[in-house]
Amino acid sequence: MHVLLTGGSGFIAAHILDGLLQRGHSVVVTVRSQGKADLVASAHRGMEKHRLDFVIVEDIAREDAFQKGAVIHTASPFHFNTTNVQKDLLDPAIIGTKGILKSIEEKAPSVRRVVITSSFAAVVNGSKGFWPEHTYSEADWNPITKEEASKSAVSGYRASKTFAERAAWEFIEQRRPKFTLTTICPPLVFGPVKHLSSPEALNTCNQRIRDIIQGTDHGQLPPGLWVDVRDLALGHVLAMEKEDAAANKRFFFTPGTFSSKEVAQIVGKNFPELQHKLQIVNSGDNVKSVSYNINIDHTNRILGVPWTSLEKSVVDTVHSIKTIV
Ligand code: NDP
């Protein structure tokens, strides 16, 4: 299939691009600068026999950028480095998502499938910390309001993902376009980094593993849900390919839970040279499991991704970042 992949310079998009190229699809990637295009191209050298093109993001509404069979939209700000939630988080996420869907509808009648990277942030109810009687699935929606969104960068990010995904589903309901939509809701994503312009550019989620190997994580963060980036990338590609089964569905995408202490124990076992930095291993008891249940039956049944173990994910992540952070 001919695919347009947005946010091609991102951590997750790099793996989606791998999966698409390996499975024979041809891909046009959107990036925000020529430098980023060069970075992505060099990380995928050796795949030249497949088609791989780039467009600078300002050109995203250009008609020929959209003459594809599918669009995978990953681009969205994922950082907490802002004092202007509206401008830096909400607008790019919401306007970006609506803008792409509108452009496809108006200019690209050949697009049949759209897959959007949403987030567990669009699922979780942040006001319920301890919630043992609840089971999260794709049926849940974060009830965050506009007022709550502006309270902090974390709330702003969660709201950006919730409002952007809601806007996408509203678009489908109201416009009934020719294409179908699938959204994927992953929690924290671990896994090897394919390209990095600088140590500061390390993506937000792998900063948690960086902090553990640098000894600055003292177990202050609660346990959470995670997923390996390669499984997530495959999930996007399968969602696109399984047109009938995955169309107009939302997927909660995680194999389960992790804690910082558990990650540190894996690092200690596999990287003895880092042992002395892993203060958290000897810190007090770090509760392993989260305070709610999860149901991923729908994702397992329809996408059927063989989940990578936490140990493999952490080991591969540490191999990829330990020399650069
Ligand atoms: P990255 O920060 O690595 O990638 C984000 C991508 O979005 C980059 O290509 C970035 O471009 C692009 N982008 C950000 N803001 C804009 C903008 N205003 N206009 C155009 N492009 C923009 O993050 P991830 O790969 O981790 O995240 C990808 C997607 O996955 C996001 O939608 C994120 O919300 C979602 N997600 C990530 C999770 C995680 O743990 N990693 C968990 C759940 C969801 P540039 O490089 O030029 O800045």
Cα–Cα dist 312/266, whole Å: 9
Mean pLDDT by 10-residue block, N- to C-terminus, for the chain (325 residues)? Answer: 93 95 92 91 75 76 66 90 89 93 90 97 91 96 95 94 98 97 97 83 85 82 92 98 95 95 92 85 63 96 97 96 80
- Is 282 a domain residue? no
- Region of residue 270 (left: phi > 0; alpha: psi -120 to 50; beta: else): alpha
Does the model's ipTM exceed the 0.90 cut?
Answer: yes
Predicted confidence at residue 219, as pLDDT, reads 72
Predicted confidence at residue 61, as pLDDT, reads 47
Predicted confidence at residue 90, as pLDDT, reads 94
- Is 268 a domain residue? no
Cα 193–197–200 angle (5° rounding)?
A: 85
Predicted confidence at residue 290, as pLDDT, reads 73
Predicted confidence at residue 287, as pLDDT, reads 61
The whole domain housing 32 covers 2-193+225-256+292-307
Beta-sheet strand order (sheet of 256-258): 188-190, 224-228, 256-258
- Is 32 a domain residue? yes
Q: E strands, 201-314, where? A: 224-228, 249-252, 256-258, 293-294
- Is 215 a domain residue? no
Pocket test for ligand 1, best of 29, 76, 86, 163 (most atoms within 8 A of CB): 76
Residue type, 157: Y
- The whole-angstrom distance between residue 280's C-alpha and the CA centroid of its chain comes to 27
- Is 15 a domain residue? yes
Residue type, 163: F
Q: How far is the CA of 272 from the centre of ligand 1 (A)?
A: 33
Ligand 1: residue whose CA is nearest its atom 46: 9
Closest CA to 289 of 83, 165, 131: 131
The CATH number covering residue 144 comes to 3.40.50.720
Closest CA to 95 of 163, 11, 176, 145: 163
Which residues have C-beta atoms less than 6 Å from ligand 1? 7, 9-13, 32, 36, 57, 74-78, 92, 96, 117, 119, 161, 186, 188-189, 203, 205
Predicted confidence at residue 288, as pLDDT, reads 61
Cα–Cα dist 38/201, whole Å: 16
- Is 143 a domain residue? yes
Predicted confidence at residue 286, as pLDDT, reads 55
- Is 246 a domain residue? yes
CB 126 within 8 A of CB 53: no
- Is 181 a domain residue? yes
